[in-house]
Structure 1
Amino acid sequence: MKGNTGEKTYSCEVCGSTFSMNYLLQRHMRRHTGEKPYSCVICGMAFTEKYALNRHVRTHTGEKPYSCEVCDLAFSDKSALKRHVRTHTGEKPYSCEKCGFAVSHSSTLKIHMRTHTGEKPYSCEVCGLAFSQISIMKNHMQTHTGEKPFHCEVCGLAFLRKASLQSHVLIHTGEKPYSCDECGLAVSHSFSLKIHMRTHTGEKPYSCEVCGSTFSNSSNMRKHLRRIHTGEKPFSCEVCGFAFSSKYDATKHMRTHTGEKPYSCQVCGSAFSNSSGVKRHLRTHTGDKPYTCDFCGLAFSNNISKKKHMQTHTTERL
C-alpha cells in the first residue's frame, strides 16, 4: 500500500514496516510469503535475494573476491571479511547487557546470552540432550554414531572434530605461537590464551544456574554442573564401560587400555599419557619445587610428596 506523506511511502500490510521504494517493499514481502525466486543452477537451492544466491554460488566456484589488506586472507562475501578484520583491529562492538562481556560478532553475542538465559534450542534426536549451539549438538551426535572422520597423519589417532585434530597435532610439533603479555606463558591456541588471560584479569563470565558459582570458561562450568549437581556421566569407556563426567577424563582413562603416551619430554624423550605427567617429570630436570610445607618450608617437586611429608608433622603433633 502506498502512503501519502513522508520519505517512506510504501508500507507492508502484514507487519507495518515502511520503505522508501516499491522494490524494497516487494523484497521485504518475500519474508512473509516465503517466495524464493532465485535458484542455484548447480544444486537447485533457492533464495529470496539475488545477493544471497551470488554468495552461495561461490561455495561451488570457490571464488573469494574479498581480501584482507592486513594478511591477504580471502573471503567469499564482504560480511565475512568485515568480521575477519576485527581479529586485527581488536574491535568488539557488541556487548552483553548482563555482564558487559564484549565480542566482535553479533552471532557470538547471541550465543553468549544463552549462558544467562539458559536457552538451549538445539536437541539431540537420539537422547534428547539440549545444547545452546548447533555446532556443539552436531559434535555430540557423533558420540552416538562413533564417527571420527579426522585422523592424525603422525600417529593415526582419530577425532570427532577437525579442531580437536588441529589441537592434537601441536603435541607432535610442539608449536606454541601465542604468548601472554603479562607472564610470558606460551600456548598453542588463541582461545587458550584468551582463557589464560582471565587468570590475570579475574574475569569469570560463566555462572552456574544452580549455585551461582562462576567460571572463566564454559567447559569448567559444564564439568561443575555434572560433577556437583546433576551427577551426569555422559562419557563412557568403550573397553570397560567406566563412565566419566568429562571427556578429558574419559580420554585420559582410555590411554590405560591403549597404552598411548602422546606427551614427551623435550629433554630426554620420556613419554607420558597426560600433560600433567610430563610437567611433573620436567621438574626432575629443572629442579623446580613449587610445593612447600606449611610447617617447615621444605620444598617438593609434586603435591603428592608434599602431602606425604605433611603427615610427618601431623604424627608429631599427636
Structure 2
Amino acid sequence: MAPGSKFKNSEMILPCEWEECLFVGKRMEEFCDHVAGHLKEYLQHPLETAEHYRCWWRNCEFGAKDPRELITHVNFHSYHAKLKFVGSRLRALHRDLPACLLTSRSWHQLPQTSEEFVCNWENCNVTFNNPEWFYQHVAHHAYATEEKTVTDQKKAVYCHWKDCLGVFKGKHKLWDHLRTHTQERVVACPTCGGMFSNNTKFFDHVKRQVSEDKQIFVCQNCHKHFASERLLRDHMRVHVNRVTCPLCDAVCTSVSSLKAHTRYRHCDERPFRCHLCDSSFKNAYDLHKHVETHNDSDAYSCDVEGCGFTSRTLQTLKQHYKRAHVV
C-alpha cells in the first residue's frame, strides 16, 4: 500500500493556520490548493520594506530569501498538518499510550528544507516544491519497478536511486527503503509536532516520557531506566556501536553489520549460485549482473526514437543512456 493511501478516500481534519484563517481541509489536494492561494496572494503583494519573504503560518518565524524557498517551506506546513492528523488518529486508536509531556513550542518548527525536492531515481531528476507530491512520486517509482528473477526463480526488485545497489524481496520493501533516501516522515506527534519515519518511533517518543517509577527496564551497563523492553534493546546498541573488525581496520556500528562485513570481505563463501553455469557469488546483486551475461543475443535495446543501440546487459544499456542521451 502506497504512503498515505489509507487516508486517500477518507476525510481528514487539516486546519489552515495562515494568519487568522479558519479553513479546515478534508483532502490533501483541497488543502494544498487552499494554502497555495494564500501564498499566491502574499507573493503578489509582499511588503516592500521587508528584507525577506516571511512565513505567515501562526507561530512560525521563518524568513525566506526568495519566493521559491518560501513556497517549499509553507508547503511543508501543509504536509506537517497531515502528519499531525495521522498522529492524532494513532493516539485515538491506542488509548493506553501515555501523553506527550513536551512543550508545544516546537509545534511549527520544520526541518531545514531546500528550494526543491529532487527525485534521484535513475533517469528521472524531477523536482517538486511540495513534499506531499514528491513522496507520492517516489512511491510510484517503487510500485512501478519491474521484478527480476534472481536465483531459483525467486523474484527481487532493485533500487535505482543514485549510487544505491539495494535489492529487496518486494515492492513494498523497496518503498520502505526509499524513505532512507528521501528522509520521508509518515507521522507527527499532535502535541509537540515532532516527526517520525514510522509508527513505532512515534510510540517510542511518548513512551520515553513516562514517569521514572514506570521505567522498570534497566540497562546492566549504565543503569539507565526505560519504559519498555524494546526501548532498552535499542539503547543497548549504544554500547556496541563501535565494533572493530579483527581482520582489518573497519569499524562497524553493530554486531550484525560486522557479521555482514566479515561475510562479504573476509569469507570465501558464495551462496548465490548461477543456474546456467558453475559461477557463484556473495550477494544477489552480483549474481543478477552475472546472469545477464548469459544472454545469447542483445536482449536490451534503447527506447529513444532513432537510436538503434542494443546490449546484452541492462547495466550496459544504462551506461549508454547516460552517455548518449542525458545532457
TM-score by length of 2: 0.26
TM-score by length of 1: 0.26
Q: Which has the higher relative contact order, 1 or 2, with Cα contacts under 8 A spaced 6 or more apart?
A: 2
Larger radius of gyration: 1
